[in-house]
Chain A
Amino acid sequence: MDAGVSYNQMVVDQTDDARLDRLFQAFADATRRDILARVITGEYSVSGLAAHYAMSFAAVQKHVAVMERASLVTKEKRGREQIVRPDLEGVQKARRLLEEYELIWRQRVDRIADILAEEKE
């Protein structure tokens, strides 16, 4: 029995790999994290966002496009404006990965406690 393979499939659905890569690339940039924080708490158009950054409208538009591909935000046309909205499912996906990582640390500190307890027995 190949426990390693079945295990890998359990942890992260392989079909999600490409999506996860896009997600983490989107998170890796400070401007994009800031954009996400803004659109979660308020309503912004692309041009409304652009007013907050020392970069061109086109550059902000590019950041939003990266986030859109990563399923972190969606765009909605309203008149001549494009409203940027958060995709909360994408944000939750990142949280789920971090939760799995947290389990590693839960197990590690338990093993440390076991080591420390040995001397007291």
Chain B
Amino acid sequence: MTFISSHQDPEALSLTFVAEFDASVERVWQVWEDPRQLERWWGPPTYPATFQRHEFVPGGSASYYMTSPEGEKFHGWWKITAIDAPRRLEYDDGFADENGVPDDKMGATHSVMTLETVEGRTRMTTVTVFESAEQLQQMLEMGMEEGVREGMGQIDALLAEPARA
């Protein structure tokens, strides 16, 4: 099982999500650090992400866009607020205009990602705190398509798969 647990706190508008992988901490860190690997999982296959910039250093920024099935591009940004490789990453992210300029009125989400070794596997914990409904909704519109299309049953089936060796 990749998925371990999650906790939603509607009062704080936050989601804590815990997953474990059969790989080293260093290897899981790479899927965040390497933009070519990051863009393979950040967006769903139906809205693939393309990272044009990915400065993986404290104070660094990233810019990317996701392409809809109709070819429409949705731009987003990251701001790296803290990095302690290969264990901890803090970043803000949000939506941007077509030139990659952050859209301030949409608000940002604040995330902390940590990696730790638990019984030979790597545990990844992400805590995301939201500011606005609008941003959450747009994220849902882009990120949920796959889930809506395939249905909740499909996701349960995916999660029921035995751990990959």
Contacts and interface: CB of A to CB of B under 8 A. Distances in A.
Interface of A: 2-4, 7-8, 10-12, 17, 20-21, 23-25, 27-28, 33, 36-37, 91-92, 94-95, 97-117, 120
Interface string B55-74: 00000000000001110100
Interface residues of B, number: 52
Nearest to A98: B8
B10 A109 contact: no
B15 A98 contact: yes
Given A112-B41, A116-B22, A116-B28, A105 B17 contact: yes
Interface of B: 2-3, 6, 8-13, 15, 17, 19, 21-23, 27-28, 31, 37, 40-42, 44, 68-70, 72, 124, 126, 128, 130-134, 136-137, 139-141, 143-149, 155, 158-159, 164-165
B143 A107 contact: yes
A108 B16 CA distance: 14
Given A28-B132, A102-B15, A109-B2, 11 more contacts: A7-B141, A11-B140, A27-B12, A92-B10, A97-B133, A98-B9, A104-B147, A107-B147, A109-B17, A113-B22, A115-B37
8 smallest CB-CB distances across A and B, nearest first, come from: A24-B133, A111-B41, A104-B143, A94-B10, A109-B19, A98-B8, A105-B17, A117-B164
A12 B28 CA distance: 33
B137 A20 contact: yes
Nearest to B27: A116
Contacts of A4: 68-70, 72, 145
A107 B146 contact: yes
B1 to A, nearest CB: 10
A94 B2 contact: no
Contact of B11 (A20, A33, A97, A112): A33
B155 A27 contact: no
B139 A112 contact: no
Contacts of B140: 11-12, 97, 100-101, 104
A104 B128 CA distance: 12
B28 A106 contact: no
A100 B72 CA distance: 22
A6 B126 CA distance: 30
Contacts of A120: 22, 164-165
A96 to B, nearest CB: 9
